[in-house]
Amino acid sequence: MITLREVSKQYKVGRDWVDAVKPTSLHVEKGQIQGIIGFSGAGKSTLLRMANLLELPTAGEVYIDGQELTGLNAGELREARRSIGMIFQHYNLLSNETCAANVEFVLKAANVPSKQRKRRVEECLEIVGLADKARQYPAQLSGGQKQRVAIARALANNPKVLLCDEPTSALDPVTTLSILEFLEKINREFQVTIMLVTHEIQVAKRLCSQIAVMEGGVITEQLDRSRPDIEP
Ligand code: ADP
Ligand code: ADP
């Protein structure tokens, strides 16, 4: 479902080039929850953001559900990204829009007709247990509730893939657990393949079927937790 083939990313900093990600590969099967763990600066976020071309790889190829994203033009990429949801550490909600409008926004961008949009917004807020908060603004919600709105937004276009960048790092342990349960439910009920970056090993152990360890811009290890003999 997700294939990163020999992707790398270099940034120019002053006169120097920094290797954020060195040529590295990762394959995630449909229905899996792939964790990426490692220390700060290891390249996790850059790797994740290359999976939907939020960061353009310096080299290498990205495939989602058999389609090579790195070969698409801008219009085709916009279309392909609709099947890739993303959530962030700091939620990235529009603060002057209601929860419902935050979710509806991505449906509008996908040219979904108004009546269908309203129905889908309701469904998505229902899935994350926030149907009653539709008309509230992000500032009126707790951190966990904001992340649930972000999950509802990410689900709106029925994605095949959900990319999660430190989704619980701003949350307390109890709220973290509830967000992980929602991610698990989305994976199970809607067969959404998940790739999740975290520096919190407990989060990865709680949620992920596979855990890749990143160090110095490369994946150094891939642990398959569905095989109990190598349970980390
Ligand atoms: P992680 O998510 O594991 O903390 P990142 O992917 O954010 O790691 O960053 C990997 C490395 O790339 C770090 O050294 C970081 O400073 C560098 N880096 C990330 N983004 C940029 C950027 N936009 N410009 C320059 N360097 C960057
Ligand atoms: P950080 O990792 O520092 O918290 P974020 O992940 O919150 O940063 O956001 C990084 C960048 O991604 C921002 O510049 C934001 O505008 C952009 N961004 C946020 N959400 C989306 C989205 N759904 N699609 C494309 N770009 C986005």
> Would you state the pLDDT for residue 230?
52
From first CA to last CA, the distance across the chain in angstroms is 24
User: What's the rounded Cα separation, in Å, for the pair 158 and 135?
Assistant: 22
Phi-psi map region of 14: left, alpha, beta (phi>0 left; psi -120 to 50 alpha): left
- Measured from the alpha carbon of residue 162, the closest ligand is 2
Q: Hey, whose CA ends up nearest to atom 18 of ligand 2?
A: 92
Q: Provide the residue-wise pLDDT of the chain in tens; the chain has 232 residues.
A: 999 999 999 999 999 999 999 999 999 999 999 999 999 999 999 999 999 999 999 999 999 999 999 999 999 999 999 999 999 999 999 999 999 999 999 999 999 999 999 999 999 999 999 999 999 999 999 999 999 999 999 999 999 999 999 999 999 999 999 999 999 999 999 999 999 999 999 999 999 999 999 999 999 999 998 765 555 5
> Would you state the pLDDT for residue 226?
76
Mutational test site, ligand 1, from 12, 46, 165, max ligand atoms within 8 Å of CB: 46
User: What's the rounded Cα separation, in Å, for the pair 134 and 112?
Assistant: 19
Atom of ligand 2 nearest to the CA of 89: 4
H or E element at residue 222: strand 218-224
Q: Where are the beta strands (DSSP E) in 121-178?
A: 161-165
Q: Hey, whose CA ends up nearest to atom 23 of ligand 2?
A: 86
> Would you state the pLDDT for residue 228?
59
Distance 47 CA to ligand 1 centre (A): 10
Q: Pick from 29, 58, 30, 28: which is nearest to 46 by CA?
A: 58
Q: Pick from 178, 214, 181: which is nearest to 198 by CA?
A: 214
Distances (CA, A) of 175 to 49, 140, 183: 25, 17, 13
Mutational test site, ligand 1, from 11, 22, 165, 197, max ligand atoms within 8 Å of CB: 11
Cβ distance 197 to 165 under 8 Å?
yes
